[in-house]
Structure 1
Amino acid sequence: MAEGSQIVSLNIGGRHFTTDVATLKRAHDSFFMILLDKRWRHSPTEEHVMENLHFFIDRDPHHFGLILDHLRRVPFNLPTCSRAIGDIRREAEFYCLDDLLRVMRRHDFHDFGRGPMFPGDRIRIDWRKVEELEAIEADSEGAGHLGLTRLDYLHGREVYCGECGCNSKSFDGRQRAVTERRNNDDLGNVIKVYNNGKCCDATFGSSKLIYHLPASTLDLIYEH
Structure 2
Amino acid sequence: MSKKIRKKSSKSDSSGTARAATVNRIKPARNVDMTASGKLKSRLTSPFSQAGELAEGSLAPPFKLPREDGTHVSLADFAGTKLVIFFYPRAGTPGCTREAMDFTRLAKEFAASGTTVMGVSSDSVKAQESFRNKHKLSTPLVSDEKHDMLEAYNAWGEKSMYGKTFTGVLRTTVLVDEAGRIARIWRRVKVEGHADEVLAAARRL
Question: What's the TM-score bracket when you normalise by the shorter of the two chains?
Answer: under 0.3
Task: State the TM-score, normalizing by the size of structure 1.
Answer: 0.23
Structure 2-normalised TM-score? Answer: 0.25
Which is bigger in relative contact order (C-alpha 8 A, separation at least 6)?
2
Bigger-Rg structure (1/2): 2
